[in-house]
Structure 1
């Protein structure tokens, strides 16, 4: 299907719109104070993501902030330092300040003219208002990732969306709901040396806008 054939964009918030890795790395900086050498960024972030995945089954129990607190304490232990619960909570409360990718707001402004935009996000309720304001979204446009699993598609129909009309924007590895399309955002140049394994591959949100404009002219 062409980009213009879809009617709904399902957009993963983190690493598509929000630069989560940079936000997490910045929020972890207090743990590095007094260390002669910084830990390796990619390895530490990979460890953080693995811990967060392991905590997903406890999402209803802990909430997103609770998961972040436990992840922070895990990273502290990995670095051989102690972190108080207050410090872990400060880390968890850094989420509203994670930076957006520079092209995200403008791309969302353009795309909403042609698509229904639904953003899959893990955030506390109190953090969602600020995210909506930064991206020009309505609260109903935000869907909890935990409550809308991508290995199922029934919830799309509950929202009045046919899965075949939806395109998921995500980072690798990702799998779209059954019958839905998949668009992978690959910002690193090395990613583009590999063949595109999705319906669409883009290098940025601005690139998605450009490809959509090209599709309109065909």
Structure 2
């Protein structure tokens, strides 16, 4: 069913890299110093809209600084102070965020049939740390630093589709976030595969509610399941 596509465009954080675990490792213990009852999920939900807002309002800010400012804003929202050292710790933590266990093997398998492209809300230096964790060479990488804006801004998808058009590629968007990826990808006319990493958990976690009904063309609970379907 995927034979008509020759390139896959991936989101990275939430799809290939477990950003919720990475973010929660810093902001969860911080929050519980003030309220021991707060769960990682509760803190991630408080954080989600702040990161999206900071990225939207300061589109040329590098991602480590977006993370740090979003952490400070989360602290203001919850009523707890965020020391600069802890804000900067979150900002510099991206290379430490773990890859999902199935990401490398799935990407290696998919790379035998498709060109692998990344469009991600990140800076080049931070992404290189994640790429090393994934241990994959991508055919093309587009970061927020390259574009000067953050998804779900349509400009990011305009850059992606222009690249695909110039290279004559039939492109499929593969991502976890409905908010950051599938809503704007639909607007850009890109078919999508939803890697629903939170299929067994309620709510949106570190990803904002998409705010509208969006129906990706395909849905799988993991990269491993998608890769198996693509092989079939």
Give the structure-1-normalised TM-score.
0.82
* Counterpart residue number, 1:186: 196
Q: For 1:1-218, what aligned pairs fall within 5 Å after superposition?
A: 2-35=1-34, 37-56=36-55, 57-60=57-60, 62-138=61-137, 141-145=140-144, 147=147, 151=154, 154-155=158-159, 156-159=161-164, 160-162=166-168, 165-171=170-176, 172-173=178-179, 174-175=182-183, 176=185, 178-187=188-197, 188-189=199-200, 197-214=215-232
CA contact (8 A) 1:31 1:81 kept: no
State the TM-score, normalized to the length of structure 2. 0.78
| Secondary structure in structure 1 of the residue aligned to 2:9 | strand
SS class of match (1:28): helix
Gaps of 5+ in 1: none
Tell me the distance in 1 between the aligned counterparts of 2:201 and 2:89. Answer: 35
What secondary structure sits across from 1:9 in the alignment?
A: strand
Instruction: Give RMSD over aligned pairs.
Output: 2.6
Give the Å deviation of 1:141.
2.6
Paired residues, number: 207
Q: Give distance in 2, aligned partners of 1:18 and 1:52.
A: 17
Specify the structure having the higher radius of gyration (Cα): 1
1:153-185 deviations in Å (ceiling 9; x for gaps): 54323353457x111111224232533211111
Asked if 2 retains the 8 angstrom alpha-carbon contact of 1:168 and 1:182, the reply is yes
